Amino acid sequence: MARETIYAVDDEEDILDLVEYVLSKEKFKIQRFNTGEEVLNKIRVLPPDLLLLDLMLPGVDGLDVCRKLKSDPDLSSIPIIMLTAKGEESDIVTGLELGADDYIPKPFSPKVLAARVKAVLRRKLQKPPDDYDIIKIHDISIHPGRHEVSYKDKRIELTYTEFKMLHFLAKRPGWVFTRYQIVDALRGEDYPVTERAVDVQIVGLRKKLGEAGRIVETVRGVGYRVREY
């Protein structure tokens, strides 16, 4: 059965060899590119189902490619997974805020690569819950209409901000959100924020969730997410 088409962009042939080997075994169709210009020209003619995008590219770099795609209404829905070298945390944050869906740090394992690709493609097919849909994940039930959270049928009292933060993260499990994305969702773009303020709210949320607090994961140097499984 034909599977999704994935464009892989990297200026290192050994990385492209690994990506093609791993994802071809999973029955994905892979097309390889060495520069941002090449992939942009191809995407405008024939968009892929997913883009694996190295950030450190000659000429048009990965962030520029991401920016161009996410600002184009006809191409903005293409999922993007960034391939990042060690020490590029600020670029990861920028990429996520531009609209990238996930990132994989180099060097990466074949299993991690395949799992991340499948997860992002799965999310693409899923309709995110509406603001008033009840969310059930990891024995936690989140009821937006009642503003209630329970874990294993035991009610947990959260502040307004803690509830909104948990609800925002739980609507898209597995997605990594920067601190600024979290604040934008809760308070609006012009609300002043410090990293410390978000971190303090997360600490309080985890404490109140007790043993269930482990589902809220810290992504070092980037932000937070609710664990998918």
Cα 88 to Cα 107: distance, rounded to the nearest angstrom? 13
Structural domains in the chain, CATH included, are: 5-125 (3.40.50.2300), 135-226 (1.10.10.10)
pLDDT class for 229, splitting at 50, 70, 90? low
Q: Is this prediction's pTM over 0.95?
A: no
Q: Is the confidence at residue 64, as pLDDT, over 90?
A: yes
Alpha helices, DSSP H, located in 87-178: 89-98, 110-125, 160-170
Dihedral angle at the C-alpha atoms of 203, 209, 212, 214, nearest 10 degrees? 0
Q: Is the confidence at residue 174, as pLDDT, over 50?
A: yes
Fill in the amino acid letter for 160.
Answer: Y
**Mean pLDDT to the nearest integer, 172-199:** 79
pLDDT class for 1, splitting at 50, 70, 90? very low
Residue reference for tokens 């604040």: 183
